[in-house]
Amino acid sequence: MEDLTGKTAVVTGGGSGIGLGIARALAGAGMRVAIADVEDTALERARASLEGSGGDVLAVRVDVTDRAVLAAAADQVEEAFGKVHVLCNNAGVLVGGSIDEMAYADWDWVLAVNVRGVINGVQTFLPRIAAHGEGGHIVNTASLAGMSTARGMSVYTASKFAVVGLSEALRADLAGSGIGVSVLCPGVVDTNIFDSGRNRPDAMRSETGTDVYPMVRHLPEEDRAARMERVLSAALDPAVVGEIVLQGIRWNEPFIFTHPNLESMVESRHAAIADAFERWSRYRAEQGI
């Protein structure tokens, strides 16, 4: 979508971090922006910070795991701003820990927000975007963890691989419809996702998952702070991510990457897959099967 001025966007997880960065960029491009978030304080703070940023702003409290609430929010956005053209399914959470440490509650919460939340967003807004026939765009936030695995992030990685696959399938299904689909795969960004447990429902709490930064949990406790300082010192400003997403929408990019310097993480996985194809092809030829 090249011309975004005057059109309406919905950004879930828009109260802070990447979602707020995306909302700021879209508003700066002249869009009417509805930010949706489960956290009231962050939502109001974000709304105030976006005032005067270029486009009209609406703040709506939404739990993306609740389909009825999401549908009501969609009605509210359309009543305030009219037809929705851009949907950014950005709400996400993280639980650290290896897969053998996880409880059902950890899986239930992360998959409910990171995967079912994206599905709910698509199911709620796609029919509305398709109905007006003016085209649109959907951005689903995954992660580089949806392209390559890392220690201590088993549940999160599974959820983000699912978002990548969902987005690729959705893009294929919508080809030729005028509705583009992108999957955002950021590296480390300066957000509070590592503190996402603050919004975790009591019914989905466990004693196993942890808010300790997943990439350092395998290290001795005395080494964790120094490693995380190095990691976070390179964390990208969410405002920069927002500008990258804005360009991704304009280009209808299938994949939006924020950290091109981390390309080797993805390349190594693809190389392992290619090696496996070659190995099994050779085995079948040798065995005559």
Per residue in 59-111, pLDDT tens?
A: 999 999 999 999 999 999 999 999 999 999 999 999 988 888 889 999 999 99
CATH architecture of 8-258: 3-Layer(aba) Sandwich (3.40)
Concerning whether 104 is annotated as a catalytic residue, the answer is no
| pTM of the full structure | 0.91
Identify the active-site residue in 104, 156, 213, 283.
156
The predicted structure's pLDDT at residue 217: 59
Q: Is 105 left (phi over 0), alpha (psi -120 to 50) or beta?
A: alpha
By the 8 A CB rule, do 136 and 127 touch? no
List, for the chain, all residue ranges whose pLDDT scores fall below the cut of 50.
211-212
In the chain, DSSP assigns E strands to: 8-12, 32-37, 57-61, 84-89, 136-141, 179-185, 255-257
What is the DSSP secondary-structure string of 56-109? Answer: -EEEEE--TT-HHHHHHHHHHHHHHH-SEEEEEE------BB-GGG--HHHHHH
